[in-house]
Amino acid sequence: MDDTTDSEFLPPEELQALLPGFRIDPEPLGTTAMSRVYRAADARLHDRKVAVKVMAGSLAAFPGFRKRFLREIELMAGLDHPHIMFVVAAAGPDDRLLYLVMPQAEGDLRARLAMGAMEPAAAARVIAQVASALDYAHDRGVAHRDVKPANILFGAGDHVYLSDFGVAKHAVGEDLTRVGDSIGTRRYTAPEVYSAAKRAAGSDSGVDRSGDVYSLGAVLFHCLTGQRPFDRTDDAIVARVQEEGPAPSVAEIRPDLPAEFDAIAAKAMSRDRADRYRTCGELARAFEQAVARAEDGPAKPGRVRRPGRLALAGALAAGLALGGGLSFLAFGPELRDSTGDGVVAGAVDPTAAPVTGDDQVERAPRAGECLTADEDRYVVVACDSEAAAKRVYRVVTDPEDPNPAQPDHDDAAWEACGHEGVEFDYYWADSAVREGREWEPETDRIYYFLCYQRL
């Protein structure tokens, strides 16, 4: 709900009188500055559940707003696709009440994401259905321009519908938004689409198509992370960050996910539209294939690729103490060796600045950071550096060991690094490595696993 007053909408009893074929629930489902949506039953179709969208009376008096609402009806009625919400009944140009009747959805993606991030396979199913709807619309010259979770509805069996074509534009029709208007929803809308003032000089269907690609990438980001894009950025500067900064990083929020997912979302949300996917379907296919590759990864511990312990004889002698010390890396204020002898030279201060540019820092990595190909020591580099060879997606300290008799810890590594189906490598350290002797299952313990993927 927003601050729209009830006086801008007809009272329920008057609304009911104007729509006698529908039994309308007096309590609205939701209200925006332009419209209100009610649950209803279609008495002519055996009380089929529908949703009635009604335009605010104060806006219906203005020709421009009337024209926009009627354009939405026209566009939805003209797009016959299984994943585009369809029209059951609607107002005509001369009707006093502007309304649109649609099937009643069982929920929307916004409510689903309020419960947290989705599993990648579930996200792929949603993205594929929305992409199919958008490509169909684009091929017919219609750009949606407001793709976001609230406009992605669920029917029976998680069938997806794309809804709300209120700011959509037809390539050969009049753009009913005015110079200075905001189009779409800031954190999901491409910067070149959001500001009508910047687009006043003209646009084409290709620009609009790429704008919807951006928005679908933003929805994918939200599905994978459980957070809106730029959610941690202040509203006052989010526009500048979108226009000038890099795309938001999935890896910063979900380092446990495959790095490929991050790359796909970043490509879709590139600030340069020429770098985005050409179509929404191309984006959806790239993500579906990435999910399939992740799911086709190690099916059991025996298939895990494992380079083994870091060869650190020289480094240990030099004082890096990677055996037990890394069990404390970046996870608290006490960066101390487990023997109590002092601060671990190889551990990283949680407040240390990220490694950028061509810098290289010899220290323990955080999740989300990248390493060089050096197998004898940890050398942290920027992930966009040419020297980056591995990306750490998880660090697990003091892990459970389901098979203590196993000296190479394959089963424990699978539990720590591989249960989400990703193909991975890992390093480990344990008390036997630290003391340079054979593993004793009854007395020794694992200090950490460092889970990574090769770039």
The answer on 340 and 291 residing in a single domain is no
The answer on 326 and 405 residing in a single domain is yes
CB 210 within 8 A of CB 276: yes
Domain boundary among 67, 85, 103: 103
Domain boundary among 71, 103, 135: 103
Residue 370, C-beta contacts closer than 8 angstroms, at least 6 positions apart: 380, 381, 382, 383, 385, 388, 389, 390, 391, 392, 455
The SS3 call for residue 421 is: coil
For residue 169, list its beta bridge partners: 143
pLDDT digits (tens, 9 = 90+) for 60-85: 778 788 888 888 898 898 899 999 99
The answer on 141 and 20 residing in a single domain is no
Question: Catalytic one among 42, 108, 146, 410?
Answer: 146
Q: How many domains are contained in the chain?
A: 3
* Residue at 300 is within a domain: no
Residue 307, C-beta contacts closer than 8 angstroms, at least 6 positions apart: 375, 425, 426, 427
Tokens of 112: 């689903």
The answer on 192 and 284 residing in a single domain is yes
Mean pLDDT on 293-308: 47
Question: Cα 77 from chain centroid?
Answer: 30
Mean model confidence pLDDT for the chain: 78
For residue 397, list its beta bridge partners: 448
The answer on 252 and 342 residing in a single domain is no
Q: What percent of the chain has pLDDT over 70?
A: 78
Q: What pTM does this model have?
A: 0.62
Tokens of 325: 């010390």
The answer on 386 and 277 residing in a single domain is no
The answer on 84 and 213 residing in a single domain is no
The answer on 149 and 80 residing in a single domain is no
Q: Which residue type is seen at 366? A: R
Least confident of 177-191, 205-219, 294-308: 294-308
Least confident of 237-241, 394-398, 446-450: 237-241
Instruction: Tell me the three-class secondary structure of 3-49, residue by residue.
Output: CCCHHHCCCHHHHHHHCCCEEECCCCCEECCCEEEEEEEEHHHCCEE
CB 162 within 8 A of CB 102: no
The answer on 333 and 211 residing in a single domain is no
Query: What DSSP element (H or E) covers 161?
Result: strand 160-162
From 245, 273, 248, 275, select the one nearest 261 (Cα to Cα). 248
Question: Domain span at residue 321?
Answer: 305-454
From 295, 306, 282, select the one nearest 408 (Cα to Cα). 306
Domain boundary among 103, 122, 148: 103
Could you confirm whether 108 is annotated as catalytic?
no
The answer on 320 and 439 residing in a single domain is yes
